[in-house]
Amino acid sequence: MDLFSDEAKLQAIPIEDGELALLHRLSMPLSNAEIFARLVDETAWRHETIVVYGKRHLQPRLTAWHGEASYAYSGLRLEALPMTPLLAQLRSAVEAATGHRYNSVLLNYYRDGADSMGMHSDDEPELGPQPAIASLSYGASRTFILRHKRSKRTLKLELADGNLLLMAGSLQHHWLHGINKTAKPVGARLNLTFRYIA
Ligand SMILES: O=C(O)CCC(=O)C(=O)O
Ligand SMILES: [Fe+2]
């Protein structure tokens, strides 16, 4: 492979009030299918209950949190598990591709089209004011939706097997993002968001 081809580089996606860039395939010494299978097998998946407007719900996906610091959101406190060798290897590749450092990763397992993630911003104070969050996807493609908080402008990106999406600058301040349920028959998808928790 030509390392300097466009395929190997992060491509900026023009967007107002934030930074977004996409790499078609993260370079790894394993196939996407091997990475997917190992992540499914090696992860202690949890089905968490969260509190939304005072009511308890099971999250519509499975999750795991690995890294150096625990993390709290939606009334949930996630104790960090240590990085596995594969997660550490993925983190190094993501750091090299994006030029940012990460000390934690949230794994999300969307088992089928009924699994989803509500519109949100990753704007917890411990992420800092301009967090670089690197989102790595394996398995089935799903539509990633961005909605500007003020203008309500919506942008849709199809995130496919092996894609790396970098969210940075003031993106979390101005935009929401999420993954809707879909009635289309879709297979399982994994998403890993690498973050730096101060
Ligand atoms: O699954 C995705 O692509 C989005 C994940 C996400 O937004 C998050 O983990 O905060
Ligand atoms: Fe997010």
Q: pLDDT confidence of 7, banded at 50, 70, 90?
A: low
Q: At residue 76, does pLDDT exceed 80?
A: no
- Report ipTM for this prediction: 0.99
CA–CA separation, 21 and 15 (whole Å): 10
Tokens of 40: 């499914």
User: For a substitution probing ligand 1, which of 124, 135, 144 has the most ligand atoms within 8 Å of its CB?
Assistant: 135
Task: Give the mean pLDDT of 95-109.
Answer: 97
At 110, the amino acid letter reads: Y
Domains, in order of start, for the chain? 10-195 (2.60.120.590)
Q: How far is the CA of 185 from the centre of ligand 2 (A)?
A: 24
Nearest-CA residue for atom 9 of ligand 1: 193
* Residue 1: per-residue pLDDT: 45
Q: How far is the CA of 179 from the centre of ligand 2 (A)?
A: 9
Tell the residue number behind the tokens 């800092």, with chain if given. Answer: 128
